[in-house]
Amino acid sequence: MARFIARSILSTITTMLLVSMALFLLLEVGSGDITVKILGVFSTPEQRASYRAQLGLNAPAWQRYVDWLIGNDWRAAKRVGYPLVTATNPQTDEKDWWADVDGQLTRWKLEDGHLQALERQADGSTTSHLVSGKWQTNAAGQEFFWGLDNKNNAVKWVRGEGSEVWVLTKAGLRKAGDGPQEYIPLRKGLLRGDPGKSLQYGRPVAVTLFPRVRNTAILAGVAFLFIMPLALFFGIIAGINDGKPLDRFISITSLGATATPEFVSGIFLILIFGIWLKALPAVSIFLSDDAIFKDPKLIALPILTLTAVELGYIIRMTRASMVEVMDSAYIRTAILKGMPYWRVVLRHAVRNALMAPITVIMLHVNWLIGGVVVVEVIFGFPGLGKYIYDAAIFGDFNAVEAAAMLTVTIAIATRLVGDLAYTFLNPRIRYS
Q: Using CB under 8 A as the criterion, which residues of the chain lie in contact with other proteins when the complex forms?
A: 11, 14-16, 18-19, 22-23, 26-27, 30-32, 255-256, 258-264, 267-268, 270-271, 275, 366-367, 369-370, 373-374, 377, 385, 388-389, 391-393, 395, 397, 400, 403-404, 407-408, 411-412, 415
Choice between 320 and 350, CB closer to other proteins: 320
- Cα 105 to Cα 154, 255, 416: the distances in Å are 14, 63, 44
Name residue 366's amino acid. Answer: N
Minimum separation from the CB atom of position 122 to other proteins (A): 43
Minimum separation from the CB atom of position 5 to other proteins (A): 17
Choice between 268 and 330, CB closer to other proteins: 268
Minimum separation from the CB atom of position 22 to other proteins (A): 6
Phi-psi region of 12 (alpha: psi -120 to 50; beta: other; left: phi over 0): alpha
Choice between 124 and 256, CB closer to other proteins: 256
Choice between 18 and 87, CB closer to other proteins: 18
Choice between 147 and 395, CB closer to other proteins: 395
Residue 234's contacts (CB-CB under 8 Å, 6 or more residues apart) are: 250, 254, 311, 315, 318
Q: Which of 126, 91, 90 is nearest to 105 (CA)?
A: 126
CB distance 292 to 286 below 8 Å:
yes
- Compute the distance between CA of residue 409 and CA of residue 283 in angstroms, rounded to an integer: 29
Choice between 23 and 80, CB closer to other proteins: 23
Minimum separation from the CB atom of position 258 to other proteins (A): 8
Minimum separation from the CB atom of position 255 to other proteins (A): 7
Minimum separation from the CB atom of position 399 to other proteins (A): 10
> 250-284 as b/e, with b when 16 or more CB fall inside 10 Å?
bbeebeebbeeebeebbeebbeebbeeeeebbbeb
Choice between 16 and 228, CB closer to other proteins: 16
Minimum separation from the CB atom of position 77 to other proteins (A): 33
- Cα 167 to Cα 91, 176, 253: the distances in Å are 21, 7, 58
- Cα 427 to Cα 6, 30, 235, 350, 422: the distances in Å are 18, 46, 25, 18, 9
CB distance 110 to 178 below 8 Å:
yes
Minimum separation from the CB atom of position 396 to other proteins (A): 8
Choice between 126 and 260, CB closer to other proteins: 260
Angle at 429 between CA 423 and CA 432, to 5 degrees: 115
